[in-house]
Structure 1
């Protein structure tokens, strides 16, 4: 087993200030849309250190928060979710029987409990998803590769762009987005075709690429900070974050077609029915985000989740954060889950909540079964 040491010198800093209260506003159509679709949302914001649950609560949108260290990548469904944080990938499972012990009774229809933690170290983890075999694939941005996890290693490198010559913790191309198709990784996005430390920064406004993992070929070049490639409804979608847009790409010709522009840096995308749920970030005024089409088009940007009807490219609803949250990374729909809860590791209810293999349940007294 090989170990790689990339430890930086320790630094000291003053205690952080008290966090701002988390405030948001939304259109009346947002909770109504969740009610109609029978779903809820999970949203990550690494800047605020929160995993946000957005759910309909009697016609009002309820935003429920759980604290994590730099939560970014998120793979989620009705049964489980995996969350990539600063140094750890956290695995949570849904145990519906626990909802009977939540307050108020009969309000929740899912309860996610922590199950496993995998220490990756600082790999600047970005998007994640499961393949058809249940293997979690992660975008390892710091090492410019796709990786999986096992019980022994920090991570297992599985693929990297052909233009990246070495496995090194230098964020050479800022690999960030992962799109699955037919149950396996198919598309990735990177902010530049670079092979030097932080080399992607040299042409961030128009150096982005969308890559086919199977062939290694660039499907589309010249993108402005692309993120979140998705194969949905027989079309290839991508967020062109530097342009604040949702677009489709012809996989054969590479032709880009902008579907909708929204008032923020687009990052984080999921679909349900005819709707695209898009994460928006305000974008800080800094050298990192200067010279982008979005910052030139809009002096004021928004943070939240915008819902676009892909049938007509119209905005169907939005959730806007007004304080504390300025950047969104991932947005995931929980289909069939209307009002979920997420228990923190210190919650006392976890001590008496057990998940056993099906074959073991025959030995459990009936009165003990939840």
Structure 2
């Protein structure tokens, strides 16, 4: 019993979801002594969902392996390539597949949606007590995930909230800094292409008039529907935030300004074409910038925000790159970049 308690204490001691999944896999491996334990999550949209491996531990491995965060979506296996996993999700019950090894698949849920599955490979079928142990740990895991969602997500839209932004930003910024510090010119160019990250700031045009004309309940519905459009337009690993009011932020990886611009333009056109109940058509203005080595969250956000302000004061309903505005002479290059800002 003490061993179980120790693992539960470790499981609930982290706030990083990546570490949390790795800890869950380690706890189940130590408690069940299986041949392998893995956590697979469902990613993508309903018509094209795939399996992303979040943690995999075999035998006495000291560290879990996983799919890279930025893995190409099309390279992941399709949802229905693994019928037992789909069955576990649809029935909300564990599914056993006899064979060598024996595979037991447990559904993994959050309060909001299907998260994925925990897959345990063993020499034989898990007995009833072992299955109850796994189910109990997964209930605790789900409850802890719910607490994280409550503290990290906007209650209306379900997007990440403002206070989670800085930590995610510094993770991406550290990758950008490492890429720029590569020793050889060829390697530097290659890594920079692989590690180009962007921040985009999105603002709904004339949103105050929506609230004034239709009321805040309809305004909230617009925000909720917009968040759904954002999920459908961006990739599963892009980080989507609501900063408050009608202001949204996106952290994403692209190879160039042009690629980032196309992604934001896809969102802009989707929003402009969507008919919002009672309100009808709305538009959005977007500004974006590439993360630079040494950026702070405030310095990068300020550049993107300046691009948004330019867009809103020059016709709205458009996507503007901060770097492009600088090249055109529309903005002065006075952005603050550095690890320390003096006020």
TM-score, with structure 2 as normaliser:
0.23
Higher relative contact order (CA 8 A, sep 6+): 1
Q: Larger Rg: 1 or 2?
A: 2
TM-score, with structure 1 as normaliser:
0.22
Higher strand proportion (structure 1 or 2): 1
